[in-house]
Structure 1
């Protein structure tokens, strides 16, 4: 069995106009899986390591690209609150349903906002952030798209780009 081949078949979340109960259930399941299996740990550990490099005197500007249900941002907000780190967190997604869902679940987090943007558009690239995160998002793109995105993100993020993803295999 060769597990080096990357799957490229579309997933449910690749439909940017999808607004169904199935998608809502999928977002809920992702949050449960991330909670129980430590899916947030890589991003939070990276932020802990980066903390000495974070800009003093103003909130950390962080965007979660492909923010989905906003669960990663809520975990980052909780991490920041426990440590007294002021933050301005932005969830960026192309799917309006996901953004509405995430905003509804994030009402207790005024430090989080959500915006519908095309991450390939100049409007997104013009937004300055200290840190860009992408959790379970990059596998949705081709290799060529990823190279282009990573080059842009490297220029856009003042401190770091933090990616937490998986390798999609046809058998998975």
Structure 2
């Protein structure tokens, strides 16, 4: 998927499949209930930034959940990938503001949000990019940053390989998903490389949550 010359039909199909895959494995419904929803309400509209939205299913889902709960939440989702932007702009409106941008560009503009999140982003980054992302997150987030990623494990790798085998050759979900698991961290590995103030937690099934609490203005 990261190849700019990859097959556009397979890429769009993969974006569509992200919603089903993330519903099964990412745990964002639980993260919303326990970490996002408690920060909403109090007669104000909160703001949330999703960095690297991919197929856009995570911010769209969070927007739906907040709306169903009658809570005010304005969501901005960014991705530097032009193909991701083209894909989400072809979807029905979900009350999410999608923008082609990087976190560094938002920092340069002086943007601030109550919450900053990402999904399956950490394992794509090299050391310098990870340092930049975490620095940008603490600058952009008034209250909390939540980076949700895979935890590398043999069981998870085997289960994903079997579950997505029917998708092999029909999208990038199978091969890229297995590559992502191989690139991802174990809990102790991630703890060893993040700056002070960041907390690494395990979450079922085989997930890692990297969080940082900020001081609300």
> Given the alignment of the two structures, is residue 83 of structure 1 paired with residue 96 of structure 2, yes or no?
no
> Given the alignment of the two structures, is residue 169 of structure 1 paired with residue 154 of structure 2, yes or no?
no
| Runs of 5+ consecutive residues of structure 1 not aligned to the other structure | 1-11
Counterpart selection for 1:34 from 14, 17, 22? 22
Give the aligned partner of residue 118 of structure 2. Answer: 134
1 CA distance for matches of 2:120 and 2:56? 12
Which string of whole-angstrom CA distances, capped at 9 and with x for unpartnered residues, describes residues 10-60 of structure 1? xx2x3467671121011112222112x142x2x333333343434733321
Distance 1:54 1:19, change over 3 A: farther
Give the aligned partner of residue 3 of structure 1. Answer: none
Q: Which runs of 4+ in 1 moved over 4 A?
A: 16-19, 122-125
Select the structure of larger CA radius of gyration.
Answer: 2
Could you say which structure has the greater relative contact order, defined with CA pairs below 8 angstroms and 6 or more residues apart? 1
Q: TM-score, normalised by structure 1?
A: 0.76
**Secondary structure in structure 1 of the residue aligned to 2:68:** helix
**Secondary structure in structure 2 of the residue aligned to 1:127:** coil
Q: How many residues align?
A: 153
**Secondary structure in structure 2 of the residue aligned to 1:47:** helix
**Secondary structure in structure 2 of the residue aligned to 1:94:** coil
1 CA distance for matches of 2:45 and 2:117? 16
> Given the alignment of the two structures, is residue 48 of structure 1 paired with residue 33 of structure 2, yes or no?
yes
2 CA distance for matches of 1:54 and 1:126? 23
Distance 1:56 1:125, change over 3 A: farther
Which string of whole-angstrom CA distances, capped at 9 and with x for unpartnered residues, describes residues 48-86 of structure 1? 334343473332111111001110011101110121111
1:99 touches 1:114 (CA, 8 Å); kept in 2? yes
| Stretch moving more, 117-126 or 76-85 | 117-126
| Runs of 5+ consecutive residues of structure 2 not aligned to the other structure | 153-180, 184-217
> What is the alpha-carbon root mean square deviation over aligned residues?
2.4
Give the Å deviation of 1:124. Answer: 5.7
Counterpart selection for 1:160 from 144, 165, 177? 144
